[in-house]
A = this chain, B = another copy of it.
Amino acid sequence: FMPIDRLNIFSDAVFATITTFMVVPLKEEVQSYDVTEDLWTSLVADWYRFLVFVISFLIVSTLWQDHVWILQKVEHVGDVGLILNVLLLLVASVIPFLAALMGDFYRYPLTSRLFGGCILTLSVVQGIMIALAFRRSKMLSDHLEGDKTKKWMSVEFLSTAGLKIVLSALSIGIAGASVPASLVLLAVAMFTDWICIIVIAVYRSRKDQSFSTGIRTHLCRRFVFEDVDIDRTQTFTDGVFIIVATLIILDITADSLVPLNGKMTEEALYEALLDKKEALLAYISTFVTIGMIWYINYSMVYYIQRLSRLLLLFNRLTLLFVSIVPLGFQLVSLFSVEEAGTNENIAVQFHCILILFTSVFQLLFWVAAHWKRDKHIASSLGGLHRKRIFCLLLVYPIASLVIFCAAFSTSVFKVNTIHAVELSIPFIFLLIKLIIELVLHKRDSQ
């Protein structure tokens, strides 16, 4: 038997890698934009690429979440489980390719069928894993041994997997008739766990004295009070942040040198590299911004002692937007040329919207954790540190909103302002820290 911990970390890291790779086709597409054309028009024309990105993000992060649910119930993994797990990861890692294919050939039923086939395979593998875990009860954690809980748990897990198989098979079937409908079905298939939980709650509270109290108890238990593995969430989150922050250097490495000529003089090379400093500056800004957003996440999760399904949802939404943040930086540095005119302002606004959504979902995570605070947050969090975290959480929403509004002015917005703001935010964080230290020091000396 293999210890579950290393398998979990390994799987989390693979899922995080797959999640972040899906933004690559978007980045390739954005590079081909004409800077003189209106940016909103170009972005809107690519709506289906963004839709496919969101749906594939939803699919991979749900897959990860299901993996956490299943393995949270398991104590040991045998060889068959190990092989199924590798098969799951291998099939899942093809999703970025299928998503890119889908973006390029949106109207072809074939791509939609391939995508559905991939999800169907994944659901079948998951179903086998669940069946295996519940059959060999020695693999289950001890706290699940209560017969009634175990029975309902197995009903819920198997019906979730079954419904997912049915929906993805249906999605393949109707791809010929309508590609959008097939995509919608795949998206719905990602909420089968919610659907099954609600249906089971309704069924179980049928016999209770008060239907509405019963259903609220059942739903509350599953959505608010049930633990999600915090360590695994942290590994997955850290993995996404790390790869998103460093993925841009890969772009600079692979592509930025192509226009340079191998036979140029040393001076010409120096000039050419100076031209690349925009890209390098954009990289440093992205790295710092994503590092700071990670730092906020780290500060919050440090005090979280129980992670509910609701909190996890906000965490996933944060990750969804974080993984597009490099796209915003890319657009900003792409449109920072003179020919772009006021298009530069639109690029800045797009960038601000991404940062705004990321930081607002972080804020919602923390606000949601304060509802039933004693369950979610460790009692060691004092009032002062709570204020500090709220201050940190407000910096990015305010900064991005101010820049967003300022970019409406007709004068051409300088992209360097963005970099100046982004690179000054660590100092604001340090200032907040310093003020807290001073207050603590004053309080101690009194």
Contact = CB atoms under 8 A, between A and B. Distances in A.
Interface stretch (A20-28, A332-340, A368-376, A383-391): A20-28
A269 B105 CA distance: 9
Contacts of A14: 242, 246
A294 to B, nearest CB: 8
A257 B101 contact: yes
A298 interface: yes
A271 B242 CA distance: 38
Contacts of A243: 17, 243
A125 to B, nearest CB: 15
Contact of A249 (B96, B256, B269, B430): B96
A422 to B, nearest CB: 13
A34 to B, nearest CB: 17
Interface stretch (A5-13, A316-324, A399-407): A5-13
A240 to B, nearest CB: 11
A286 B140 CA distance: 33
A109 interface: yes
A108 interface: yes
Given A246-B93, A249-B94, A262-B104, A110 B269 contact: yes
Interface in A286-331: 287-288, 291, 298
Interface of A: 6, 9-10, 13-14, 17-18, 21, 24-25, 28, 79, 83, 86, 90, 93-94, 96-97, 99-101, 104-105, 108-111, 234-235, 238-239, 242-243, 246, 249-250, 252-254, 256-257, 260, 262, 266, 269-270, 273, 280, 283-284, 287-288, 291, 298, 426, 430, 433
A291 B108 contact: no
Contacts of A253: 21, 24-25, 96-97, 99-100
The 4 A-B residue pairs whose C-beta atoms are closest, nearest first, are A100-B253, A96-B253, A97-B253, A13-B242
A3 B253 CA distance: 34
B287 A90 contact: yes
Contacts of A99: 253
Nearest to A250: B21
A249 to B, nearest CB: 5
Nearest to A235: B9
Nearest to A106: B262
A10 B298 CA distance: 11
B234 A6 contact: yes
Contacts of A433: 79
Contacts of A242: 10, 13-14, 17
28 contacts: A6-B238, A6-B298, A9-B235, A10-B242, A14-B242, A17-B243, A18-B246, A21-B246, A21-B249, A24-B253, A79-B430, A79-B433, A90-B284, A93-B246, A93-B249, A94-B249, A96-B253, A97-B253, A97-B256, A100-B254, A104-B260, A105-B260, A105-B269, A108-B269, A109-B266, A110-B270, A110-B273, A243-B243
Given A17-B243, A97-B253, A108-B266, 15 more contacts: A9-B238, A13-B13, A13-B238, A13-B242, A18-B246, A21-B246, A21-B253, A25-B253, A90-B287, A96-B249, A101-B257, A104-B260, A104-B262, A105-B269, A110-B269
A17 to B, nearest CB: 5
Contacts of A298: 6
Contacts of A234: 6
Most interface-central of A97, A108, A273 (chain B CB within 10 A): A97
Nearest to A267: B110
Nearest to A252: B97
